[in-house]
Structure 1
């Protein structure tokens, strides 16, 4: 399975949001899209947290120079 980038996850979330705004989708489709959207956002947030930790580590290591 190919890992999506942060930007791809955001783009997918936007697409899902646009689909959710369609008044013609069924309740079941809405629930599935909502669940998928939350997963994309959760994974994107995890990537942000990992980037923050990496930046803090880099800054900590550079402050010792």
Structure 2
């Protein structure tokens, strides 16, 4: 699950960048899009892990 952890960590870093009051709107939108994509990918990984766990049970 290291990929999952990397995705979440990268999303956190993007969130920190979004909190910068000097950020340009275009940069903010790009960081936001990247962050949402990372979190969606992480969420898919969790769902896949849940299905695999249920199959094992």
Is this a same-fold pair by TM over 0.5?
yes
Q: What's 2:14 paired with?
A: 16
Q: Of the two, which has the highest radius of gyration?
A: 1
Please identify runs of 4+ aligned residues in structure 1 that moved more than 3 A.
none
| Greater helix content | 2
In structure 1, list runs of 5 or more residues that go unmatched: 60-65
* Runs (5+) with no aligned partner, structure 2: none
Give the root-mean-square deviation of aligned CA atoms. 0.9
Could you say what secondary structure the match of 2:23 adopts? coil
When the two structures are aligned, how many residues end up with a matched partner? 56
